[in-house]
Amino acid sequence: QVQLVESGGGLVQPGGSLRLSCAASGFNFNTYSMSWYRQVPGKERELVAGINSAAGSTNYADSVKGRFTISRDNAKNTVLLQMNSLKPEDTAVYYCRAYGGMRAYLYWGQGTQVTVSS
């Protein structure tokens, strides 16, 4: 079975840092693009950052450019999101997403809460 399990969320002060981790299993992780999305109640889920299967290309939402870094370790089947200089508007549930395979499979994790508040 496919699993994406996020961890690392929590409460952090503005200007602080968190590192989210997504542990993947049940599929060929190194052939999938991985992304982090976030969602606030009442709002659409939005793309935060993405990284391709070979880790040769990344993309970020304008709101997080220069502050967040996505990376992956294919040997460990994990994708990370390093979040620095956090702002209250970064508060959301963060979701890990996998996309790829011959049939363009799409998998989602359960989400982890990030709260940025003083």
Alpha-carbon gap, residue 112 to 106, rounded angstroms: 18
Quick one: which of 68, 108, 59 has its CA closest to 90?
68
Span 16-29, pLDDT tens digits:
999 999 999 999 99
pLDDT at 97 > cutoff 80: yes
Confidence of residue 56 (pLDDT cuts 50, 70, 90): confident
pLDDT at 67 > cutoff 90: yes
CB neighbour burial string for 65-93, b if at least 16 within 10 angstroms, e if fewer: eeebbbebebeebbbbbebeebeeebbbb
Alpha-carbon gap, residue 25 to 68, rounded angstroms: 24
Predicted pLDDT of residue 43? 97
Predicted pLDDT of residue 93? 98
- Angle in degrees, CA 99, 103, 106, rounded to 5: 30
Predicted pLDDT of residue 20? 98
Mean pLDDT of the chain: 96
Predicted pLDDT of residue 55? 79
